[in-house]
Amino acid sequence: MSKFQFPQSIKSRPVYGTLAPQPGKAHLMIADAEGAEALLDLAEQDSTIMAQAHIIFIPKGTDFSDKLRALSPAQFYEGPTYEASIQRIRHVLEHAHQGLQVYLAGTEGLMGQAQNEAMQAGIPHTSIQTEHRGSVARRMQCVHCKGITEDVLFDPFVCSHCGLNLFVRDHYSRRLAAYQGVCIDAEDPGNIPDPVELYS
Amino acid sequence: MSAAPQKTKSGAEQIEVTVSAVVPVNDLVTRFEFSRVDGQPFPTFSGGAHTVVIMNDDGRRRMNPYSLMSDPADTSTYAISVRRDDAGRGGSLFMHTQVKVGDVMTLSYPVNLFSLDLRARKNLFFAGGIGITPFLSMIAQLERMNGNWELHYSVRSADLGTYADDLKTKYPNNVHVYYDDQSQSIPLTDLLDGQPLGTNAYVCGPKGMIAWVHASAKEAGWPDAQVHSEEFTAPQPGKPFEVRLCKSDMTIKVGENESLLEALEREGVDAPFLCRGGACGQCETTVVSHDGEFIHRDHWLDDDQHASGTKIMPCVSRFVGASLLLDR
């Protein structure tokens, strides 16, 4: 089951919905891994939008690509990583017009970063649809060295840049598309709780 | 205590002004220009702002909101353009028939409920008739910033095309005027198609035009947050009714030709307000109990709130029934 209901948290924490077809001139769909299932559900609600759809998919080891191709989107791109897909996402947004609908699905890291690109292209974040599927791993920023650690699944974790032990907070930055990680043993160096898997 | 000055009275701060010019623009519209009595510069404002003009009509106090149409950066003068409404409550008629150069009047500080979204990549303006006024100050502001804008302006005829010729002469590449009497209309569907991502649309005009732009933009997939509109509703006359005020501990009568807000003010109750046109939300008042029907006319409360019978906007809305108890 790729759906996970996040518990209620602080206001800063993003809330994700369920993708629904919206009237529009073009439909940009960006997903990673199990996010593909949300796109399949979306196509089931209204298959006609696929004629104007551009799907950008990062499989992350899953095998959804053929199923997505079978939806016959106007354009389909499979990228090895999100980083490798950014050029294409920016190109699409740069040449897009008002009326473009953006659908994001999959991990929080992917949705946050793609939302950021869409916002910078001029789409209000309130008009960008998101649906969380798959891993609950987070993209974390170390508030001390500012380095980003991707796919963090345990709390606390070690910053991949400066090596501090970081506490995983729900405090989120839309600009950075990352949660904030704060040193957990600053007062008492070495006193580090055992890492616990997020939402386990 | 906050360091900000504490306001003692409801509404925006006020400025005493002298009418410096009265300029008929066409058969229906007259421009009024003001200078400050104290000789100080006017506050700057942002394009789309309005002022509430306080009129002393033979002892009766009228307060009407009008969009400021002068250049927001020009602190020497404020200007408004008033369309004469012969069937209205009399505010515009008072301006047209009674106000002369040299008269002293009172204006409120500018309040903006229709401001530019400065993040917009492009600004697409739709004006109908006298709805042109807020766009005049927006255009002045954007011209200073080298902003990207275009105006689509629908008028009844060349004679009644308020400022249409001025605008076309000054900005021939940005301004498009459509004349009703030549069966021209704004090609809205085409205009909403193919605009760059991040374009914001603004509409000011008759109710039907505002609804048309909102619905068409939604259909074309535009984000709600990028379609802006402004419509001031004038309070409509209605059957007199009685209101019981809890906090003030008094019962007041609202006359046929006055709004509930005006009745509160007449009785000396300090009720909050800003726009007096059902748009800003400042005068929102809690209904304690009621036995009867509300006539909601505002654009502030949503349909559910209107149906709930727990809130009323006294500036434009009325009540018909046996009893109304307000938390004021």
Provide the shortest C-alpha distance from residue B302 to chain A (in Å): 19
The residues spanned by each domain of chain A are: 26-132, 138-197
Q: What is the pLDDT confidence band of residue B2, given thresholds at 50, 70 and 90? A: very low
Each residue's pLDDT tens digit, A75-128: 999 999 999 999 999 999 999 999 999 999 999 999 999 999 999 999 999 999
CATH C-level class of B241-326 = alpha beta
- A169 near A180, Cβ under 8 Å? yes
**Residues ≥6 apart with Cβ < 8 Å to B223:** A123, A124, A126, A127
Pick from B121, B194, B219: CB nearest A122: B121
In this structure, the strands spanning A178-183 and A165-173 are antiparallel
Residues of A in contact with B199 (CB under 8 A): 98, 122
User: Does residue A156 have a cis bond before it (omega within 30 degrees)?
Assistant: yes
Each residue's pLDDT tens digit, B168-189: 999 999 999 999 999 999 999 9
The residues spanned by each domain of chain B are: 14-108, 122-230, 241-326
pLDDT at B7: 56
Residues of A in contact with B218 (CB under 8 A): 23
- Identify the H or E element spanning B127: strand B122-128
Round the average pLDDT of chain A to a whole number and report it: 96
Average pLDDT over residues A176-196: 96
B218 touches chain A (CB under 8 A): yes
- A128 near A118, Cβ under 8 Å? yes
Superfamily of domain B14-108: Translation factors (2.40.30.10)
Q: ipTM value of the model?
A: 0.88
Residues of A in contact with B197 (CB under 8 A): 93, 96-98, 100, 121-123
pLDDT at A59: 98
Contact B197 A22 (CB under 8 A): no
Please give the residue of chain B at the shortest CA–CA distance from A27: B221
pLDDT at A3: 85
Contact B220 A100 (CB under 8 A): no
Please give the residue of chain A at the shortest CA–CA distance from B223: A127
B4 touches chain A (CB under 8 A): no
Query: In this model, does residue B24 exceed pLDDT 60?
Result: yes
pLDDT at B89: 82
Q: What is the pLDDT confidence band of residue B4, given thresholds at 50, 70 and 90? A: low
Query: In this model, does residue B278 exceed pLDDT 70?
Result: yes
Query: In this model, does residue B3 exceed pLDDT 60?
Result: no
Residue B230, phi then psi, degrees to nearest 5: -140, 130
Q: What is the pLDDT confidence band of residue B134, given thresholds at 50, 70 and 90? A: very high
Contact A127 B192 (CB under 8 A): no
Distance CA B322, CA B312 (A): 16
Each residue's pLDDT tens digit, B222-231: 999 999 998 8
Provide the shortest C-alpha distance from residue A178 to chain B (in Å): 23
Please give the residue of chain A at the shortest CA–CA distance from B200: A98
**Residues ≥6 apart with Cβ < 8 Å to B192:** A98, A99, B201, B216, B217, B220, B222
Each residue's pLDDT tens digit, B189-229: 999 999 999 999 999 999 999 999 999 999 999 999 999 99
Distance CA B296, CA B62 (A): 21
Contact B220 A22 (CB under 8 A): no
Contact B194 A97 (CB under 8 A): yes
Each residue's pLDDT tens digit, A49-61: 999 999 999 999 9
B226 touches chain A (CB under 8 A): yes
Round the average pLDDT of chain B to a whole number and report it: 93
Contact B226 A100 (CB under 8 A): no
B225 touches chain A (CB under 8 A): yes
Distance CA B321, CA B260 (A): 14
Average pLDDT over residues B262-278: 90
From residue B163, alpha-carbon distances to B47, B160, B232 in Å are: 17, 9, 21
B268 touches chain A (CB under 8 A): no
Each residue's pLDDT tens digit, A1-20: 478 889 999 999 999 999 99
Are B14-108 and B241-326 equal in CATH topology? no
Q: What is the pLDDT confidence band of residue B33, given thresholds at 50, 70 and 90? A: very high
Domain covering A26-132, topology? Rossmann fold (3.40.50)
Q: Specify the range with the lowest mean pLDDT, choosing from A149-163, B139-153, B252-266.
A: B252-266
Query: In this model, does residue B1 exceed pLDDT 70?
Result: no
Highest mean pLDDT (candidates A77-81, B243-247, B249-253, B260-264): A77-81
pLDDT at B5: 53
- Of the candidate CATH numbers 3.40.50.300, 3.30.70.20, 3.40.50.150, 3.40.50.80, the domain formed by B122-230 belongs to 3.40.50.80
Q: What is the pLDDT confidence band of residue A32, given thresholds at 50, 70 and 90? A: very high
Question: pLDDT higher for B286 or B279?
Answer: B286
Contact B225 A23 (CB under 8 A): no
Question: pLDDT higher for B148 or B299?
Answer: B148
